[in-house]
Amino acid sequence: MSDGAGEELSDRQKREIAVWFLSNAPAGEIHYVAKDVRALLGDEAVYEAAAAEAFPEHNKAHLVSLELPDRSGDIIITTYGELDKNNYLDPRTAQVATVDHIKQKCTKLRPAADEELPSAYIEDFRSALDVELSKYVSEAYPKGVCAVYCTSGKDIEGPGADFGLAAVISAARRSPQNFCNGSWRSIWNLEFYDESQFVEIKGKIQVGAHYFEEGNVQLDTNIDCKDSTVLQSPEDCAVSIANIIRHHESEYLSSLEVEICL
């Protein structure tokens, strides 16, 4: 691999270029890109260094979901569940999965330790929202997965303090035989304010699509949303928050469909 002037690139430059291509691979296509990058580099050590850097970041950015080894469900690769580079918490099953980022597989599973989980009080809010969010996702996204994480205040034992949750939704549509892949990613950060009995909701929705029949067309779009609701019981909060998420996501999906059709 050389630059435009014919000079040989250094290993560092090759690695940086390889990392860029791998990190920017469309959803569901990083292994195809990796195969080409590996062949172009012709240097296994440089490729492995690039892959070790790029795959974890790509997996987190695209909220890649992987089947748990015991088939109890799927885990989303996200910074909210990241305990370290290779271990991720699945809050629904209270388990920790060891992940092989390059193979995109879970290799091991263990029960989560008490200190890795929220208190019973926070878990009531987290699990109630997880139930309602799962209902919505199963209706809206045929191949969607979701998870709810505690982001702050996980040791709070009862009312009287603020805490935070994050609701994460990931849906992918893979259809390489039709030269089309797509992904839906949304993250909803929820701040629960005890004194004002108020829940602040901030969402980010990202949609990606790649059409590669007789050309190469990519759609990559995102939108930020803001809303709020009243802090109530865990069950009532969960229903209200899930309805707000449903409203914003269906509105954005409708606007996208209109744009694409125009």
Please choose, from the candidates 219, 181, 222, the residue with its C-alpha nearest in 3D space to the C-alpha of residue 203.
222
Burial class (CB in 10 A: 0-12, 13-18, 19+), 160: exposed
* pLDDT mean over 129-153: 95
Residue 75's nearest CA partner among 107, 51, 102, 52 is 107
What domains are defined for the chain?
A: 11-61 (no CATH), 65-111 (3.30.1140.60), 118-261 (3.90.1150.210)
Q: Is the pLDDT of residue 167 over 90?
A: yes
125 or 58, which is more confident: 125
Q: Is the pTM of this model over 0.75?
A: yes
- What local confidence, expressed as pLDDT, does residue 199 receive? 98
Name the pLDDT band for 2 (thresholds 50, 70, 90): low
What lies within 8 Å, CB to CB, of 254 at 6+ separation is none
pLDDT at 201 over 60: yes
Structure confidence at residue 75 (pLDDT): 96
Overall average pLDDT of the 101-129 stretch = 97
- What percent of the chain has a predicted confidence (pLDDT) above 70? 85
Give backbone dihedrals phi and psi of 21, rounded to 5 degrees, phi first. -65, -45
- Please give the mean pLDDT across all residues of the chain: 87
pLDDT tens figures, 170-187: 998 665 554 456 789 999
Write down the pLDDT at residue 219: 66
Is residue 4 over pLDDT 60?
Answer: no
Q: Which of 162, 125, 146, 163 is nearest to 239 (CA)?
A: 125
